[in-house]
A = this chain, B = another copy of it.
């Protein structure tokens, strides 16, 4: 048997059922990938009149992907493929593909097609209501929709009984294996360190001046500088592109077509560049997944998606690493600051690199998550996590959401939103049913530093390389250890495989405390 398998493997196939499974999964992937393009287009080039038709098309693709995936013959083929791979090395791509499809199949089978249709309709309406409510800064107009979305999520959770917390099945969709109890512990640790850290920084806010970042910066020059940087980082433009969109995001249609979007602020240097670096972190990950894993869909938040990665947290570890651990480091600017000064001599010609480094790391207690710096970012997520867990566990009524939001903003960041638009209505997530999603941003921050420690241990020359603008070994290491595996391993298994450790917030907190103590001269 082992001999036959080895022979089949040599020929590039482990058996006919496995090949049939690949083909069936490939069709689901194709639908998900097409839907990804529809979504990308909706946010980049679609004319306003296309909205209704697009909603229909996306709903049809999503429900068809679901129908194809849960068919009995898919299950039968999966089972047959499992016997074909059972003697293979569990680390092989084939065994990994079958295991991953099994996990997603079993989860998806629990969800009735009816629920998928109702959910798509509910979030479609809720999203539209959210857009209008945010515009009008009127939470009350959104409240009934938010209640309906919550009802839909509660039904979803009920398909996964038993659980420790109803929040667990939601979390598991984005960060497989992680539980509410563990996330609470992690946020507890962060809270204990980050709230006093931000408080101490705010008392020394004069220590950092970033006014020169808020001069006029030519939009095209900013855009082009960012393109040069991410090309150097290893983003392959033969298999990707950057377009303008209101919000930066990354879309992996397939390994050969991984796009990013970005926006430019004409009066603020930084948001465009760091947006590009962040999204390039996601995109380089998706471009680096092994070809053997092509056309395998993956389940993310009850939706079958084209992207085949370990989890949102692992994704975010890659984007935050390039954005922050690289892009906001002294080493990086040792290489790039002279180039940047050459592009913007009027704005930066007289500014020292150290002054610039401190400016791009300035901490500000702001209202808006997506504009938050490294020190305050997790506090925005802490607030969202606590609120959504309370909502799902039934400890908070939707009507009380704005008050809960505002009082936590005051408690964690010392500021109160003047209106709902800049408060509880700022994020799209809940309107489109993304509960359990916010914590993955924080998990990503934590993983990024755990990986960074390991990287530096294995590549002691890394900082010097970065300060010469050389990212080859950095990205090579990420490809080898993270990217190529795609979604073959559970995220926490992948982390352990690479670092030998469990998820651990300490390295992250040490990094944060060290960096900001130095910048702000804290004791």
Interfacial residues, chain A to chain B (CB-CB below 8 A): 26-27, 30-31, 33-35, 37-38, 41, 45-54, 56-57, 59-61, 64, 236-241, 243, 253-257, 259, 294-295
Contacts and interface: CB of A to CB of B under 8 A. Distances in A.
Contact of A253 (B53, B254, B256): B53
Nearest to A41: B37
B45 A60 contact: no
25 contacts: A30-B59, A31-B61, A33-B57, A34-B35, A37-B38, A37-B41, A41-B41, A45-B45, A45-B241, A47-B237, A47-B238, A47-B241, A47-B257, A48-B238, A48-B239, A49-B240, A50-B253, A50-B257, A51-B256, A52-B254, A53-B254, A53-B256, A54-B253, A56-B295, A64-B64
A254 B35 CA distance: 16
Copy total for this chain: 2
Given A30-B56, A33-B57, A254-B53, A243 B45 contact: yes
Given A56-B26, A60-B27, A38 B47 contact: no
A240 B34 contact: no
Contacts of A240: 47, 49
Chain B CB within 10 A, most for which of A34, A51, A236, A259: A34
B54 A257 contact: yes
B41 A57 contact: no
Contacts of A237: 47
A90 B376 CA distance: 67
B50 A239 contact: yes
A253 B57 CA distance: 10
Given A34-B38, A53-B295, 9 more contacts: A30-B57, A33-B53, A37-B37, A46-B257, A47-B256, A47-B257, A48-B238, A53-B256, A53-B257
Contacts of A255: 49, 53
Contacts of A64: 27, 31, 64
Nearest to A287: B49
A239 B57 contact: no
Nearest to A56: B30
A4 B385 CA distance: 55
- The 10 A-B residue pairs whose C-beta atoms are closest, nearest first, are A50-B257, A53-B254, A49-B239, A49-B256, A30-B60, A30-B57, A27-B60, A34-B57, A50-B256, A34-B34
Nearest to A294: B53
Contacts of A33: 53, 57
